[in-house]
Amino acid sequence: MVVAALALATPLAVNSAEAATADFADASVPSAAAAPAYTAAEVLAGVKKNSTTANKVNSKPHINTMTRSQNVNVYQVATGVYAYSSSLAVDDDGSDPDSDPDHQDQTTFQDSNGKQLAAHHVPFYVLGDDCWDRKSPCPHFFYKEHGIKGRQFALMFYKSKVIGAIFGDTQTGNSQTTSDNDSRELGEASVKAASSLGIPSSGTSGGVDNGVTVVIFSGASWIVNGSNANLNANAQAMVQKALDTLGASMKP
């Protein structure tokens, strides 16, 4: 698979007013005549600069899945683009067999052929299954309120790497009793996402406590289609488009 390395570049200066009015719904792949490509370092710097109190989506903090600290927030860093930084707890659920005693054969979302996602082959991230607070609008970030659906594309950053990933599974909801976790958690992703980012990928002993930034692109044009065999390649093929789209929206 292709993994883009963070370039050592001067961070973008970010204009929050422009970031708030950028329209991602009709974004297209930049042409050869477009401005130079944005590096992952530039885009991540812009995301961090726009992760301000004024841009915070949740009014109650989320739980870091690994550390259990209630200190994770979600920010709208541009129109239709949502970012958070947390842990990466390893999700090994889905059609790939795994020795983890907590392994489940199903994922919340499936590939384009209706097959359960393969955690060892498909990089996916995990969001809460419902609004834990049972309120609307939800005091916590609830994906259904923000145009996010199954297989929604995201950039995932960790140290010197960035990958493309899809929304593949959800964290325990109010109606579920299969674990002690709950839908306020943020900070879980698949075996493939972990290994691609250079994070220990065992479902029982892997993961990392902090430092992973997930940037979700909402809207129908950012749904990734494909089978378990090619969803990874299809997601990686969208990485530079996403960097350029978001980078251009944050340029002063």
Instruction: Write the pLDDT tens digit of every residue in 118-130.
Output: 999 999 999 999 9
Q: In angstroms, rounded to a whole number, what is the distance separating the alpha carbons of residues 126 and 131?
A: 14
Query: For residue 246, is it within any domain?
Result: no
Establish if 48 belongs to a structural domain.
Answer: no
pTM of the entire structure? 0.85
168 in a domain, yes or no? Answer: yes
- Residue 209 CB-half CA count within 13 A: 5
| pLDDT exceeds cutoff 60 at 14 | no
Residue 160 has pLDDT above 80, yes or no: yes
Pairing of strands 81-91, 188-190: parallel
Mean pLDDT estimate for the chain: 87
Q: How far is CA 180 from CA 107, 172, 228, in A?
A: 18, 8, 29
For 111, the domain range is 60-238
Cβ(207)–Cβ(66) under 8 Å? yes
Report helix, strand and coil shares of the chain as percent, to nearest 5. 20, 25, 55
How far apart, in Å, are the Cα atoms of 77 and each of 11, 29, 102, 125, 205? 15, 20, 35, 19, 33
Domain count, the chain: 1
**pLDDT greater at residue 11 or residue 99:** 99
Domain presence at residue 141: yes
Tell me: pLDDT of 241 over 80. yes
State residue 238's pLDDT score.
98
Whether 1 has a pLDDT exceeding 50, the answer reads no
Question: Is residue 77 situated within a structural domain?
Answer: yes
- For CA atoms 161, 183, 225, 42, give the dihedral sign: negative
Q: Dump strand ranges (E) for 9-137.
A: 63-64, 75-78, 81-91, 124-128
Say what the pLDDT of residue 26 is. 38
Nearest to 142 by CA among 127, 153, 156, 125: 127
The owner of tokens 């393969």 is 118
Decide if 51 is inside a domain: no
CA atoms within 13 A on the CB side of 12: 27
Beta carbons within 8 Å of 73's beta carbon, 6+ residues apart: 51, 56, 57, 58, 61, 62, 84
CA separation for the pair 227, 97 (Å, rounded): 17
137 preceded by a cis bond (ω within 30 of 0):
yes
Give domain status of residue 103, yes or no: yes
φ and ψ at residue 213, rounded to 5 degrees: -110, 125
Model pLDDT, residue 10: 36
With respect to residue 9, please indicate whether it lies within any of the assigned structural domains: no
User: Under a CB-based contact definition with an 8 Å cutoff, are residues 127 and 191 in contact?
Assistant: no
